[in-house]
Amino acid sequence: MKFVDEASIRVEAGKGGDGCVSFRREKYIPKGGPDGGNGGDGASVYLVGDENLSTLADFRFTRRFKAENGEPGRGRNCTGKSGDDLYIKVPLGTIVTEQDTDEIMGEVIKHEQVFKVAQGGRHGVGNTAFKSSTNRAPRQFTKGTPGEAHQLKLELKVLADVGLLGLPNAGKSTFIRAVSSAKPKVADYPFTTLYPNLGVVSIEPGRSFVVADIPGIIEGAAEGAGLGIQFLKHISRTRLLLHIVDVAPLDGTDPVESVKTIEAELAKYSNDLSGYTRWLVLNKIDLLTDEQQEEVCNMIVKQLAWEGPVYYLSAIQKQGTQQLCYDIMEHVEKQKADEASEDITEE
């Protein structure tokens, strides 16, 4: 199964309908003059934000989208029918780029936001429009103009309040299952998660946040190793990063080195990303005895010289998850309030 956060599609707007050359011919009216109608406008192509979509997987099967052409004009001053505009649903957070020029056309970030990506062709005019006092029987008309056509690159960045960081099998999917109604796949092999899973964590009515289970990052991800760069792109919109670490890995790897590996990849990918707010979550403490828990966790925190918040939990047993969720909610609400006040100040 392929991880889909990018898609390439071709959009073609409709051609405008041609104008018509016609003359009125009725009984007793042998020279009724020109009555050729105008053509219809070609249909345009729009992208529409849909909060119910979470991936670009649908565009793997349909890559070409063609809008309707405008109908040509007809006699008796009949105007051709304009084409019906084509609306393509995309998930929120989709960035639209012109593939040939690498120019960013825009992005869709709100539900039901409409964004035009291809303008339909303009209609042609019939010979009626060329009638004048000196040209009583014109045979001129104009053709409809072609619609725009673009090869687009769609890139999805997950819109979430909290992103989960960690090496494969750190317990990220188990955590999101424990705190939300999302049910990502959980298994004991690397890269169980191939799509970013979104889960809504509801603290109480009216208070909730969105957490994104970002698929595992490995060493060399910033250079494209594994599925690295595709995954790193999704982290850049979160308000908080939870760095989940397996304190008792079955393969005997060092938890401290696991944290440093992720930190190195974040720094390589983006300086801004490495400066994001991160909380350390030491997971799978149920695999240790009470004495080992304190000793191992303290050792990890000390060797990392970690200065931010640290949480000990067992996601599979939901131990320590409730307090963490309450603290996340307060942090997210505070950030939203700060951003709102900044916007008001700027205005």
Domains of the chain: 6-156 (2.70.210.12), 162-346 (3.40.50.300)
At 63, list the tokens: 């890559």
Nearest to 155 by CA among 8, 302, 315: 8
Share of the chain above pLDDT 90, in %: 29
Please check the confidence at residue 310 and state whether its pLDDT lies above 70.
Answer: yes
Share of the chain above pLDDT 70, in %: 82
pLDDT of residue 148: 94
Cβ atoms of residues 67 and 118 within 8 Å:
yes
Cβ atoms of residues 195 and 60 within 8 Å:
no
pLDDT of residue 223: 41
| Range among 140-154, 218-232, 273-287, 327-341 rated most confident | 140-154
pLDDT of residue 159: 63
Phi, psi of 96, deg, nearest 5: -110, 125
pTM of the model: 0.59
Q: Per-residue pLDDT averaged across 7-19, rounded? A: 94
User: 3-class SS at 255?
Assistant: helix
Cβ atoms of residues 282 and 249 within 8 Å:
no
At 300, list the tokens: 């990890």
Half-sphere exposure of residue 195, counting CA atoms within 13 Å on the CB side?
15
Please check the confidence at residue 186 and state whether its pLDDT lies above 90.
Answer: no
Please check the confidence at residue 279 and state whether its pLDDT lies above 70.
Answer: yes
How far does CA 252 lie from the centroid of its chain? 37
Please check the confidence at residue 189 and state whether its pLDDT lies above 70.
Answer: no
pLDDT of residue 126: 94
Confidence of residue 15 (pLDDT cuts 50, 70, 90): very high
Please check the confidence at residue 337 and state whether its pLDDT lies above 90.
Answer: no
pLDDT of residue 199: 75
Lowest mean pLDDT among 112-116, 183-187, 197-201, 290-294: 183-187
Q: Which residues contact 11 (CB under 8 A, 6 or more apart)?
A: 45, 65, 67, 86, 88, 117, 118, 149, 150, 152
Confidence of residue 113 (pLDDT cuts 50, 70, 90): very high
Mean pLDDT, all residues of the chain: 81
**248-264, pLDDT tens digit by residue?**
877 777 888 888 887 87
Around Cβ 295, how many Cβ atoms within 10 Å? 12
Rounded (10°) CA dihedral 78, 84, 85, 86: -150
Please check the confidence at residue 221 and state whether its pLDDT lies above 70.
Answer: no
User: 3-class SS at 262?
Assistant: helix
Q: Which residues contact 39 (CB under 8 A, 6 or more apart)?
A: 16, 17, 18, 19, 20, 70, 71, 72, 73, 79, 80, 123, 124, 125, 126, 144
